[in-house]
């Protein structure tokens, strides 16, 4: 059972996941911005924890998280932020965190607090499945999703491990690099997404594949969703928040969501053989319903 996977399925496998760091530029604004993303069509929220040594992050996210740390961010704000967002939207809230803050806080204690706040799970960029034993057990106890990364460079065995350890989706790293908008999302993303699907099928299971790194426009979202179940956008949203505040985040999310919508208005009358009859154009409504059911079950 996975709240995130349910939400992705409810989107018809056309999920849009928006990333913002919690506490940037302040806690209240980050909460408003996350809620705005959900309202504007994001299927799920990826909430980043500012960290002193963010090895996977490019300049835009680094600058935002560093500024957040410099203004005195404390980990308690994360749980406060998750709870505030979860109270205002049914979109699952996944926390993206480097591992040392969790380790220092205590893995079990962190899982317990995250679940209590209404969080859906963790995305762990520098924790690979072979080091994740304690977290996997805690995630099971607290019914949390756990998202591991697969990269174009990953061996077959490592892809198998990522599929087996992940719940929610497999973070499909589009390109060999750090976070940041790119004009073209690497062809490697399509190949990796296909490899993950093939490996999952060979394991007799399915794996949700959400592609991240480099995606910043609705057009790119549409391209990615040709071969994946979700598109993750980070730096572009962080930049929008820094430059234009919550309204800019709402506006950008809406244009990204248009890329995730199953049927373009211009093509609505044309035959779409692979589209279910009841396809929704609003990427946000369906997952909200699914997540609401899940919330009921947890309460």
Partner 1 sequence: MTAHESLRSQEGPWFGAFGGTFMPEPLMAAIDELAACYDEARRDPAFLAEFQRLSRDYTGRPSLLTEATRLSERAGARILLKREDLNHTGSHKINNVLGQALVAQRLGKTRLIAETGAGQHGVATATAAALFGMECVVYMGEVDTQRQALNVARMRLLGATVVPVTSGSRTLKDAINEGLRDWVANVDSTHYLMGTVAGPHPFPAMVRDFHRAIGEEAREQVIAMTGGLPDAVLACVGGGSNAMGIFHAFLDDADVRLIGLEAAGDGAATERHALSIGRGAPGLLHGMRTYLLQDDDGQTLESHSISAGLDYPGVGPEHAWLSDIGRAEYLPVSDTEAMDAFLALTRTEGIIPAIESAHAIAGALRLAEERPGSTLVVSLSGRGDKDVATAGRWFGLLDEDAEQA
Catalytic residues: 46, 57
Q: Which residue has the tokens 């690497």?
A: 186
119 forms part of the interface with partner 1 (CB under 8 A): no
Residues binding partner 1: number (CB under 8 A): 39
Task: Return the residue of 15, 36, 107, 127 that touches partner 1, per CB under 8 A.
Answer: 127
Nearer to partner 1, 82 or 290 (CB): 82
Calpha distance 30→64 (Å, rounded): 11
151 forms part of the interface with partner 1 (CB under 8 A): yes
Q: How far is the CB of 152 from partner 1 (least distance, A)?
A: 8
102 forms part of the interface with partner 1 (CB under 8 A): yes
Tokens for 222, please give them: 């549409």
Q: How far is the CB of 136 from partner 1 (least distance, A)?
A: 16
Nearest Cα residue to 36 out of 290, 247, 226: 247
**Residue 180: left (phi > 0), alpha (psi -120 to 50), or beta?**
left
Calpha distance 104→89 (Å, rounded): 30
Calpha distance 81→174 (Å, rounded): 28
Calpha distance 207→123 (Å, rounded): 15
82 forms part of the interface with partner 1 (CB under 8 A): no
Task: Return the residue of 26, 28, 52, 292 that touches partner 1, per CB under 8 A.
Answer: 52
Q: Which residue has the tokens 């690979």?
A: 128
101 forms part of the interface with partner 1 (CB under 8 A): yes
Task: Return the residue of 153, 205, 267, 298 that touches partner 1, per CB under 8 A.
Answer: 153
Task: Return the residue of 9, 39, 80, 152 that touches partner 1, per CB under 8 A.
Answer: 152
- Is-contact 93 298, C-beta < 8 A? no
104 forms part of the interface with partner 1 (CB under 8 A): yes
Task: Return the residue of 26, 28, 71, 100 that touches partner 1, per CB under 8 A.
Answer: 100
289 forms part of the interface with partner 1 (CB under 8 A): no
Where in 160-199 is the site for partner 1 (CB under 8 A)? Answer: 162, 173, 176-178
Calpha distance 119→47 (Å, rounded): 10
Task: Return the residue of 131, 205, 267, 298 that touches partner 1, per CB under 8 A.
Answer: 131
66 forms part of the interface with partner 1 (CB under 8 A): yes
Nearer to partner 1, 164 or 281 (CB): 164
Task: Return the residue of 155, 270, 273, 296 that touches partner 1, per CB under 8 A.
Answer: 155
Tell me, what DSSP letter sits at residue 56? T
206 forms part of the interface with partner 1 (CB under 8 A): no
Task: Return the residue of 39, 67, 69, 272 that touches partner 1, per CB under 8 A.
Answer: 69
- Is-contact 144 121, C-beta < 8 A? yes
Pairing of strands 93-96, 44-48: parallel
275 forms part of the interface with partner 1 (CB under 8 A): no
Helical H runs in the chain? 3-10, 27-39, 59-70, 76-88, 99-105, 107-117, 133-141, 156-165, 187-202, 218-224, 235-260, 285-298
Interface residues toward partner 1, by CB under 8 A: 51-56, 58, 62, 66, 69, 74-75, 99-105, 125-128, 130-131, 148-155, 158, 162, 173, 176-178
């Amino acid at each position: 059972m996975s709240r995130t996977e349910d939400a992705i399925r409810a989107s018809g496998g056309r999920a849009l996941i928006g990333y913002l760091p919690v506490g940037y530029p302040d806690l209240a604004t980050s909460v408003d911005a996350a809620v705005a993303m959900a309202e504007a069509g994001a299927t799920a929220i990826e909430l980043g924890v500012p960290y002193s040594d963010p090895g996977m992050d490019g300049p835009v996210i680094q600058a935002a998280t560093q500024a957040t740390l410099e203004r005195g961010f404390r980990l308690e704000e994360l749980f406060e932020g998750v709870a505030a967002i979860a109270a205002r939207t049914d979109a699952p809230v996944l926390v993206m965190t480097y591992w040392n803050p969790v380790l220092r806080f205590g893995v079990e204690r962190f899982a317990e607090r995250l679940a209590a706040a209404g969080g859906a799970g963790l995305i762990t960029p520098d924790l690979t499945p072979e080091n994740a034993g304690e977290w996997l057990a805690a995630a099971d106890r607290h019914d949390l999703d756990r998202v591991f990364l697969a990269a174009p460079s990953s061996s077959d065995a490592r892809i198998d491990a990522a599929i087996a350890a992940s719940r929610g989706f497999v973070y499909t790293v589009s390109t060999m690099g750090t976070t940041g908008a790119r004009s073209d999302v690497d062809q490697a993303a399509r190949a990796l997404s296909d490899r993950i699907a093939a490996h999952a099928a060979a394991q007799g299971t399915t794996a949700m594949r959400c592609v991240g790194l480099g995606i910043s426009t609705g057009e790119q979202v549409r391209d990615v969703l040709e071969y994946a179940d979700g598109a993750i956008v980070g730096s572009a949203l962080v930049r929008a928040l820094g430059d234009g505040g919550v309204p800019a985040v709402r506006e950008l999310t809406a244009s990204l969501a248009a890329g995730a919508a199953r049927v373009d208005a211009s093509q609505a009358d044309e035959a779409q053989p692979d589209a279910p009859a009841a396809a929704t154009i609003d990427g946000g409504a369906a997952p909200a319903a699914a997540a609401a059911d899940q919330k009921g079950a947890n309460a």
